[in-house]
C-alpha cells in the first residue's frame, strides 16, 4: 500500500511504530522477528532512512491492559534494536511512561502522546542529522 501511495518516489524517511494493538495476536518472539524483518525489508527499499519505535507498555490496572501481556511486549521490544541494526534503520526507544498515560490502559492520552511525540521527533532528528 505504501509503495502505491509513493507512486514510484522514495520517501525521505519512514518511521515504523507498532502499537500494543498490533501485538495482540500471541506470536513467538521468533515469528514476531521474522514478520518485522519482512516489513523492514519492504520499508528500507522505499527510503534511504528508516527507524522503528519501541512498543509502548500497557498501563496496568486499566480495562484494556488486561488483554495484553507485558512480558510479551517486553520480549518484542528486546529484539527491536537488533532488528533495526540488521536493516540499517534507527531505533527509537521510549522513555518510561508517566502514570496515567493512557485512556484505557492501551491507547495513549494527551500525556502519553506528549512523551511519545517527543521521542519520535528526537529519533527523526537524530536520523536526519546523522545522515545529512
Each of the 132 residues of the chain gets a pLDDT tens digit; together they read: 888 899 989 999 999 998 887 776 767 889 899 999 999 999 999 999 999 999 998 888 888 788 888 888 899 999 999 999 999 999 999 999 999 999 998 899 999 999 999 999 999 998 888 655
pLDDT value of residue 111 = 95
Q: Tell me how far apart the alpha carbons of residues 72 and 13 are, in angstroms, rounded to a whole number.
A: 28
pLDDT attached to residue 26: 63
Answer for the pair 55, 11: CB distance below 8 angstroms, yes or no: no
CB-CB contact of 6 with 115 (8 Å)? no
Residue 64, pLDDT score: 79
The answer as to CATH 3.90.1150.10 being correct for domain 2-131 is no
CA–CA separation, 52 and 31 (whole Å) = 17
Structural domain boundaries in the chain:
2-131
Cβ 54 vs Cβ 95: under 8 Å:
no
Amino acid at each position: 500500500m505504501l509503495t502505491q501511495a509513493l507512486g514510484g518516489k522514495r520517501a525521505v524517511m519512514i518511521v515504523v511504530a507498532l502499537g500494543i494493538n498490533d501485538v495482540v495476536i500471541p506470536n513467538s518472539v521468533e515469528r514476531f522477528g521474522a514478520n518485522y524483518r519482512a516489513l523492514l525489508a519492504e520499508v528500507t527499499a522505499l527510503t534511504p532512512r528508516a527507524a522503528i519505535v519501541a512498543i509502548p507498555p500497557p498501563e496496568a490496572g486499566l480495562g484494556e491492559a488486561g488483554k495484553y501481556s507485558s512480558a510479551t511486549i517486553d520480549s518484542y521490544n528486546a529484539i527491536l534494536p537488533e532488528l533495526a541494526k540488521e536493516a540499517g534503520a534507527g531505533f527509537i526507544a521510549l522513555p518510561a511512561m508517566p502514570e496515567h498515560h493512557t485512556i484505557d490502559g492501551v491507547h495513549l492520552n494527551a500525556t502519553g502522546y506528549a512523551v511519545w511525540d517527543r521521542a519520535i521527533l528526537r529519533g527523526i532528528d537524530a536520523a536526519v542529522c546523522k545522515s545529512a
